[in-house]
Chain A
Amino acid sequence: MQQITLAFEDIFQGISNWRIWLLLSWQDIKLRYRRSQLGPFWITISMAITIYTMGFLYGHLFKQDLTHYFPFLASGMLIWAMISTIINESTACFIEGEGYLKQIKTPFSIYIMRVISRNFIIFLHNVVVLVPILIYFHVPVGWHIFMLFFGLCIIMLNGFIYGLLFAMLGARFRDIAVIIQNLIQVAFFLTPVMWMPQTLPERLDWILKINPFAQFIEIAREPLLGQSVSWYTINFNLAFAVIGVIIVFFIFKQFRRRIVYWL
C-alpha cells in the first residue's frame, strides 16, 4: 500500500515540478551549442540538410512523385527523430542524473520529463524545416492541424510511460542501452518513414497495423499533411498508453526504491 502511494507521489511531484525539468532540459540544449556561433539553430540546420538531401535522393531513387513524397518524408523524419531519441536517451537518464540523485532526494520522474521536454524543444526547432516544404508543394494544411496537438500529447504520454520503463531497465542492466539502440535501428526500416505505406503489398499491411512506431508516427504525420487520422490509429495509441500505464506503474511501484542502489 505504502509503495503505491510513494510511486504515485513520485510521478505527481516529478511532473508538477516543471521548473526543474524545463530548466534542466533547456540547459542541456544550451550547453550542447554553448560555444558555437549559431547556437541551438544548428539543430534546425542539420535537420534541414538531412531532410533535403534525403528527399531528393530517395525521391529519385524510388522514382516517387516529389509533391507527395517530399512532405511525407520530411514530416515522418521529424517525428521519427523525436520518438527514437526519446527512447534512446531515456535508457541513460538516471545515470545522467546520478549526481543529483545521490545528493538530494528528487522524484525520479523529473529525469524522464527532462528527456521528453528536451526532445520536444528540439522538435519545435525542427518543425521550421517543414514550413518551406509545405508551402512549396502546396500541402493543404487545414483544420486537421489541430489534431497535431492531440497527436503530440499522446506521443509525449507514451514517451513518459515507456521512457520510465527503459530508464529503469537501463539503470539496472547496462546492456539495455545498446540493445535498444539496435532495435530502434531495425524498427526504422520496418516503419514507413522513408517508404510510403502504399508501396507495401496489401498482404503485408499487418506490419503497419501492429508496429507501434508506425502508429505513433501516423498520429502526428497525418495532421501535418492535412489528412485526417484514422480511428484505428487513435485507438491503437490510446490502448498502447493505457496498457503501458498499468504495466509500467506496477514495475515502478515494485522497484522505485531500488533505483538509487543501481546507480
Chain B
Amino acid sequence: MAFIKLDDVSVEFPIYEVSSRSIKKQLMRLTTGGALSKESKVVSVKALNHITLNIQRGDRVGLVGHNGAGKSTLLRVLANIYEPTAGRITINGKVSALLDVMLGMDAESTGYENIVMRGLIHGLKRKEILQKQQEIADFTDLGDYLAMPVRTYSSGMRLRLAFSIATSVLSEIIVLDEVVGAGDASFMKKAEDRLNSMLNNAEIVVLASHSNQVISEVCNKVLWLNAGEVAYYGSVSEGIEHYMHHKISTAAF
C-alpha cells in the first residue's frame, strides 16, 4: 500500500554562483587560516522549511503557492531526486514524476530512440518497451516524424512526444508539475483523457498547479506552501479559499 511520510524535512540549496564555486576560494580559505571563512561561506536558500506531512493511499493532493514557495522542490523531494538536507522521508511505492517534460529528451536522437531511452531509464525491460513503442507512437500522431531527430520537431510536436513517453509508465505514486496544454486542441482532449486515466489508476497523486479549476477537479486535498512552510493542509474548498484570501490581501499592498 502506497504512502508518503515526511518528518521535519528541510531542503537547503547551496548557491555557488554568488560566492563562486571555484577551488581558488577554498584554497584561500586554507591558507588564511579561516579568517576569511565567514565572508566566503556559501550562500544558501532554504527552499523547504521543517515540513511534516502524511500522504495516504487515495489522496489526491493539490499543491498551491506563490512562485518560489517550494512547490517544485517538494515535488522533487517526493520523486526522490533531492534527498532532504535535514529530516526524514519515507516513500512506499514506485514513484513516477512528470516534472519538466522537455528535460531529458535528446534533441539529436530520433523520436523512436528517445522512446527507448526513456523507457530504459524508467526501468522497463527491452521487451516491454517494444510493446509500448507502438502504443506511444500511435498516441503522438507523429507518424514518420518519429524516425527523424527531435531537433527537427516544432515545439508542439516535442511536447506531444515528451508527454506521451512520460505518461506511458504506470506507477503507484504520480508526482506532476503544472500540467501543460500539450499541442493543439484535438491533442489537448486526448492528453486530458490519458492523464485522467493515469491519475485514476494511481494510488497517490501530487499535483502542483496555478489553476484552481484543475485542482478542484482532480484533487481531494490541498497543500498550500508559503515560503517553504506548510500554510494549510486539508480540504480543497477551504484550502483554496484560504490561499485566495491570502493572495488578495498581499496583492493589496
Contacts and interface: CB of A to CB of B under 8 A. Distances in A.
Nearest to B113: A27
Contact of A31 (B13, B22, B109): B109
A82 B28 CA distance: 35
Given A20-B121, A100-B121, A173-B23, A27 B76 contact: no
Given A23-B120, A27-B113, A261-B13, A179 B23 contact: yes
Contacts of A17: 120
A106 interface: yes
A9 interface: no
Contacts, number: 67
Interface residues of B, number: 32
A19 B125 CA distance: 9
Given A20-B121, A102-B103, A31 B97 contact: no
A104 B97 contact: yes
Interface string B7-31: 0000001101000011110100000
Main secondary structure of the interface of A (DSSP, over half): helix
A41 to B, nearest CB: 19
A176 B82 CA distance: 24
Nearest to A2: B88
30 contacts: A17-B120, A20-B120, A20-B121, A23-B117, A24-B117, A27-B113, A27-B117, A31-B108, A99-B104, A100-B121, A101-B81, A102-B100, A102-B103, A103-B81, A103-B99, A103-B100, A103-B103, A103-B104, A104-B121, A104-B122, A105-B80, A105-B81, A105-B95, A172-B21, A173-B22, A174-B22, A175-B23, A260-B81, A261-B14, A262-B14
Interface of A: 17, 19-20, 23-24, 27, 31, 34, 99-106, 172-176, 179, 257, 260-262
Interface of B: 13-14, 16, 21-24, 26, 76, 79-83, 95, 97, 99-100, 103-106, 108-109, 113, 116-117, 120-122, 126, 149
